[in-house]
Structure 1
Amino acid sequence: MKFSYKAIDDVGTVVAGTLEAENREAVYLALAERGLLPTEVASGESFLRGYLQRLELALERIRPVDLIFFTKQFRTLFKAGIAVVEALRILEFQTQNGKLKRVVAQMGEEISAGGSLGDAFASHPSVFSPLYISMIRAGEASGSLAGVLERLVYIMDHEHRIKARINSAMQYPKIVVGALVAAFLFLLSFVVPAFASIFAGANLTLPLPTRMAMALHAILLQWWMVSLPLILLLLAGVYWYQQTPAGRLRRDRLFLALPIMGPVFCKAAMSRFASIFAILQMSGIGVLDSMRIISDSIGNSAISHEFDKIGDKLREGRGISDPLRSAKYFTPMVINMVAVGEESGRLEEMLQDISDHYDDEVEYEVGRMTELLGPLLIVALAAVVGFFALAIFMPMWDMVQTVG
């Protein structure tokens, strides 16, 4: 049986390797004869299992629903009067997600070492958003952490519902587009060549759809070794460009300009803006800091860019509604309701009304988008199948007439 080991030599250097032995005791004896002090011995099977577990942990991601459950449990434990370190220890054992479990354990260690709760959350920016961290800091500073956690749960649930609605609406178009591409490639790769040899021997003048289909097949057959790497390279380039600030800005502006889906994205962003801003105001976070947090949390670079401009104008001493009037993407309803809330001292209430209104609008637009896209995609699928049907049956009809 093969064993892997780690050991320390006589000068304190850590060495690692593998040995063939009957059992662990034989490995320890063999290492002792070499003057090595074993620190870890594992069979090949357990070593592989450990490697696979580490690989699984590295690939595992923390989903929004994992963070929602964590926040809800943390809120419940904190409201029950359990100390923060003890609450984190309980959550460490209860959390099923391996990566989040490790993060919670590290946070508990940081707080036990004298760090603040806000700093513990801030040390994991890839897990907790700027909104999450800022609200925890505000709750810790004001002594109202229980209320802040309650608002965090609300805003996370709200955002998750909005995203789920949009993602659910996009599933059907994705399936139809996938079927469209699959049908196109199947017909072009297998059906067209099967009939091309028949048509070639019939000495016919082929109609335009047939010539186009055969030309596409020839391009696919002769140039796939060149075109496939070029397509992959193009996709990689587009993906890389989208990771840059300029690429994200251009992509998100394009999304907002789309004729059917653009209004959905814009209204979802308005709902997020209003709900996040309302929660931040209730938590005692200043307007300038709120604009920065919203800019980081809104989820669209084009709208985020507008919030950066709004923040610059607020530094000049203007009110909130005035900079909104000169910003893109904000509807008159949003601007006027913010102005009324600002003048009447009921800004949080108005923001919540805006959020509720756009939640309903998003739900309506998602249903409308599904109703519009479904028939359009079905027509596109029918057009592809119809094109190939014409390409095949028109020459066959000519052959029948010639024979007749």
Structure 2
Amino acid sequence: MRTYIYKLKDDTGKTLHGFTDAYDKKDLKKRLRHSNYFFVAAEPAHREKIFNQKVDLESLLVFTRRLSSLIDAGIPILGAMHILWRQTEDKQMQLVISHLRNRLEEGKTLSAALEDFPRIFPGIYRAMIEVAEKAGGLTTILRRLTEHLEYQRVFVARVRRATWYPIFVICFALAVFVGMFTFFVPTYQKVLVRLKVELPFFTQMVLSISEFLRSPWTILGIIILVIGGTIGYRALSRSARFRYGMDRQKLKLPVFGDILRALTLGRFVRSLSILVASGLPIIDSFRVAKTTASNEFVADQIDAVQKKVERGNSLYDSFREVPLFPVMFVEMVGVGESSGTISQAFAHLADHFDEEVDYKQSRFFTYLEPALILIVGAIVLVTLLAIYMPIFSVWQGLMH
């Protein structure tokens, strides 16, 4: 049998997509005959490719929020999936929902069906659904997942702001530097040559930099360096040891390292709080929450804490023995553990890290923008002085 992606239309003309196995297109049409939809087209597909696809965070958030509302309204899970399949506009999400519906019709659990799409439904998502299936309260779990995904959206925006804005600033400063030395300076270089005067060392240095940047060999060297560096970095990134070392060094960067640490720890404890509050055992919660740490060094430190807890150590002692976690973090965990409110303690810590990220980002950008103005201004001023100093000297000579 082969896997086919098919296209149907309902009585309103809306296009719907799904996939299933069939011997050929004729067999597929026969299988879909009783679906009450109009068959449009079908094409062969690779099942593994469909299962390894990704959808954006917004699509997953919309799916979860709608599923939560439908279940809360008392609609059975299978009926809710059928409604979502018809409501969803995104083709990829239609394929996912159609498969989930088929698996549920086969008698599989929702958590088992979600396992087929590991790149769409993360570990924390699947684990919480499994907890709900065992202990009940699917509506509550889906509501928590919706809140978690909304937090993830904010988290992604924070990461982008923390990384892309400094990159933009650096690129802008470089663009000004290159523009001044490759377009502005050569224009006035011809004027300086016509003056036939001895140029100051400062001016000669600026002209030499300009000629160097405009040299074909320099341009070729930069291109080779960029391409070679990109290829080399990608090759090294396949090494777990290299990624571990890079992630560790990122945390040591001034300002940016503190922001990254707060972002990563905040995401981890937020996930831990939701999992523990949902009823997942603490060890299992660690195992799932650890996967949310995008920094391999941080993930390794979390793993060290997890192993200590597995050996019977308290959460307080386990976190205290790992240097990554600050004193306030450890003390709040200790208070939560002793009072039996550990999930609330994790939630408070997550809020604290969010506030810390916002504060440090605002301070960082407050200093960064004036620094950009100073750097760009210095580049322009130095270039103008180097160009106009000989011209002013000649003009003063003529006046005398």
TM-score by length of 2: 0.80
Cα distance change on mapping 1:179 and 1:354 into 2, 3 Å: same
Cα distance change on mapping 1:117 and 1:304 into 2, 3 Å: same
Secondary structure, counterpart of 1:258 in structure 2: coil
TM-fit CA distance, 1:98: 2.4
What per-residue deviation string (whole Å, max 9, x for no partner) do you get for residues 130-157 of structure 1? 1111112222222222221111112222
Residue 268 of structure 2 contacts residue 290 of structure 2 at CA under 8 Å; is this kept in 1? no
Cα distance change on mapping 1:207 and 1:282 into 2, 3 Å: same
CA distance in 1, matches of 2:178, 2:216: 15
After superposition, residues 174-189 of structure 1 pair within 5 angstroms as 174-189=167-182
Amino acid at match of 1:84: I
TM-fit CA distance, 1:234: 0.9
Amino acid at match of 1:72: R
Show the counterpart of 1:206.
Answer: 199
Show the counterpart of 2:24.
Answer: none
Aligned length: 350
Amino acid at match of 2:92: K
TM-fit CA distance, 1:78: 1.5
Amino acid at match of 2:392: W
Amino acid at match of 1:274: V
Cα distance change on mapping 1:209 and 1:285 into 2, 3 Å: farther
Show the counterpart of 2:318.
Answer: 323
CA distance in 2, matches of 1:392, 1:78: 73
After superposition, residues 74-85 of structure 1 pair within 5 angstroms as 74-85=67-78
Cα distance change on mapping 1:400 and 1:344 into 2, 3 Å: same
TM-fit CA distance, 1:159: 2.6
Cα distance change on mapping 1:274 and 1:230 into 2, 3 Å: closer
Cα distance change on mapping 1:261 and 1:122 into 2, 3 Å: same
Show the counterpart of 1:131.
Answer: 124
Show the counterpart of 1:370.
Answer: 365
**In the alignment, is residue 301 of structure 1 matched against residue 296 of structure 2?**
yes
Instruction: Select 2:384's aligned residue among 370, 379, 389.
Output: 389
What per-residue deviation string (whole Å, max 9, x for no partner) do you get for residues 18-67 of structure 1? xxxxxxxxxxxxxxxxxxxxxxxxxxxxxxxx9xxxxxx9xx96222221
**In the alignment, is residue 344 of structure 1 matched against residue 339 of structure 2?**
yes
Which sections of structure 1, spanning at least 5 residues, go unmatched? 1-49, 51-56
Secondary structure, counterpart of 1:268 in structure 2: helix
Show the counterpart of 2:394.
Answer: 399
Residue 155 of structure 2 contacts residue 263 of structure 2 at CA under 8 Å; is this kept in 1? yes
Cα distance change on mapping 1:216 and 1:100 into 2, 3 Å: farther
After superposition, residues 228-377 of structure 1 pair within 5 angstroms as 228-377=223-372
CA distance in 2, matches of 1:381, 1:235: 27
Show the counterpart of 2:375.
Answer: 380
CA distance in 2, matches of 1:188, 1:93: 59
CA distance in 2, matches of 1:374, 1:345: 46
TM-score by length of 1: 0.79
What per-residue deviation string (whole Å, max 9, x for no partner) do you get for residues 211-231 of structure 1? 333333333323112331222
CA distance in 1, matches of 2:199, 2:285: 67
Residue 242 of structure 1 contacts residue 251 of structure 1 at CA under 8 Å; is this kept in 2? no
Secondary structure, counterpart of 2:89 in structure 1: coil
What per-residue deviation string (whole Å, max 9, x for no partner) do you get for residues 171-211 of structure 1? 65444333222212222221122222332343433334433
After superposition, residues 17-28 of structure 1 pair within 5 angstroms as none
Amino acid at match of 1:269: T
Which sections of structure 2, spanning at least 5 residues, go unmatched? 1-42, 44-49
What per-residue deviation string (whole Å, max 9, x for no partner) do you get for residues 233-276 of structure 1? 21332244345433332332233222122222222223222221
TM-fit CA distance, 1:281: 0.7
TM-fit CA distance, 1:74: 1.0
After superposition, residues 65-104 of structure 1 pair within 5 angstroms as 65-104=58-97
CA distance in 2, matches of 1:369, 1:284: 39
Amino acid at match of 2:275: L
Cα distance change on mapping 1:403 and 1:99 into 2, 3 Å: farther
CA distance in 1, matches of 2:244, 2:201: 42
What per-residue deviation string (whole Å, max 9, x for no partner) do you get for residues 148-169 of structure 1? 1111112222232233245346
User: Identity over aligned residues, as a percent?
Assistant: 28
Comparing 94-103 with 129-138, greater Cα deviation is found at 94-103
TM-fit CA distance, 1:128: 1.4
Residue 272 of structure 1 contacts residue 298 of structure 1 at CA under 8 Å; is this kept in 2? yes
Instruction: Select 1:194's aligned residue among 184, 187, 190.
Output: 187
